[in-house]
Amino acid sequence: MNNWIGFLICIVYIFGIIGAAEGLRRWRGYGSGFTRKVIHIGVGMLSWALPFLFTEPTLFIVACLGFMVINLLDWRYGLIKSMASSNRANLGTVYFPLAAAVVVYIFWDTPPLMVAALMPLTWGDGLAPVVGKLYGRRQYRVHNSIRTIEGSIGFFIAGFFFTWLALWVMPGFPIVTPLQAFAPALVIMLVTTLIEAFSIWGLDNLTITAAAILILTVWPFD
As for how many domains the chain has, the answer is 1
CB 213 within 8 A of CB 117: yes
Q: Is the per-residue pLDDT at 98 higher than 90? A: yes
Residue ranges making up the domain that contains 55: 3-218
CB 177 within 8 A of CB 168: yes
The one-character DSSP state at 171 is: -
Q: Are 79 and 39 in contact (CB under 8 A)?
A: no
Average pLDDT estimate for 120-140: 84
**pLDDT tens digits, one per residue of 10-35:** 999 999 999 999 888 887 777 777 88
Q: Which residue in 44, 39, 207 sits closest to 122, CA to CA?
A: 44
pLDDT of res. 89:
63
From start to end of the chain, where are the E strands? 139-142, 145-148
pLDDT band (50, 70, 90) for residue 48: very high
What region does 136 belong to: left with phi over 0, alpha with psi -120 to 50, or beta? Answer: beta
- The whole-number average pLDDT for the span 136-152 is 76
**Residues 80 and 23 sit within 8 Å (Cβ to Cβ):** no
Phi, psi dihedral angles at 86 (to 5 degrees): -70, -20
C-alpha span between 124 and 189 (Å, rounded): 9
Q: With 80 as the cut, is the pLDDT of residue 154 above it?
A: yes
Sorted by sequence, the CB contacts under 8 Å of residue 5 that are 6+ apart come out as: 53
pLDDT of 170 over the 70 cut:
yes
